[in-house]
Amino acid sequence: MTSAIIVAAGSSRRMGFNKLLAPLAGQPVLRRTLAAFQACDAVDEILVVTNDALRPELEAWRSSGLAKITRIISGGAERHLSVHAGLQALNPACEIVAVHDGARPLISVAQITRCIDAARTQAAVACARPMTETLKRCDTTGLIIGSIDRANAWIMETPQVFQRALLVRAYDAVIRDGILVTDEVSAVQHLGEPVHVVENFDLNPKITFPADILLAQRFVD
């Protein structure tokens, strides 16, 4: 059994409004994200970790086409606390777990499937794309002080997919050790376990600023 944890508990501070409910070609951002996992045959259940403000919307969507949503869970103050809460609520039969940002609505069903298939053999994988831009390092005033080698550099995206036992063990260690991680790769690396990338050839931006909505609309079917 494969479960998807959709993280949708953020405050949208940089957006100025709830980005997950922002309309994207006629549908809220979060609903588009959930629809991709609903349509993926490799996903058996969806757990949404969210806040109280979004719960009524999610309940309505669950009864109108998003039937794979089995649990709606209250999130924590930080992302890693939300993911940990989702892991505690997984179906006991779950063997593979995919964690995805609710604010990445352009993820394709094909890429979700590729990541899940890879996790079955490699235990820990992350959707990612190679860095192609020139990278510079700046000081606190914005002065460029050096270059960063982009060779073998990858931009992490989601979903990040793992064999359940490994990810649960990783987040238990994160909570126990009191460390802050911003993605599942970092949590698993905290254990010293390897993680492989699954290259994504399609657009999969995270909606963070208002301009991101305008950009994403150009690529919605």
Write the CATH number for 37: 3.90.550.10
Per the omega criterion (within 30 degrees of 0), is the bond before 159 cis? yes
Confidence class for position 210, pLDDT limits 50, 70, 90:
confident
Model pLDDT for residues 121-168, shown as the tens digit of each residue: 999 999 999 999 999 999 999 999 999 999 999 999 999 999 999 999
For a pLDDT cut of 70, what percent of the chain falls above it? 96
Given this model, what pLDDT does residue 110 score? 98
In the structure encoding, which two tokens stand for residue 210, read together? 């208002």
Given this model, what pLDDT does residue 220 score? 84
pTM of the model: 0.94
Given this model, what pLDDT does residue 152 score? 93
Return the number of other C-beta atoms located less than 10 Å from residue 147's C-beta. 10
Given this model, what pLDDT does residue 18 score? 84
Model pLDDT for residues 59-93, shown as the tens digit of each residue: 999 999 999 999 999 999 899 999 999 999 999 99
Given this model, what pLDDT does residue 221 score? 67
Which one-letter DSSP state was computed for residue 98? E
Instruction: Evaluate if residue 16 carries a pLDDT over 60.
Output: no
- Our count of domains for the chain comes to 1
Instruction: Evaluate if residue 13 carries a pLDDT over 90.
Output: no
In the block, residue with structure tokens 């593979």: 96
CB burial readout 105-119, b (16+ within 10 A) else e = bbbbbebbebbbebb
Inter-residue contact 131 to 150 (CB < 8 Å):
yes
CA distance 57 to 54: 5
Instruction: Evaluate if residue 17 carries a pLDDT over 70.
Output: no
Model pLDDT for residues 171-190, shown as the tens digit of each residue: 999 999 999 999 999 999 99
CA distance 176 to 39: 36
Across the chain, mean pLDDT equals 94
Inter-residue contact 157 to 104 (CB < 8 Å):
yes
The residue range of the domain holding 187 is 2-217
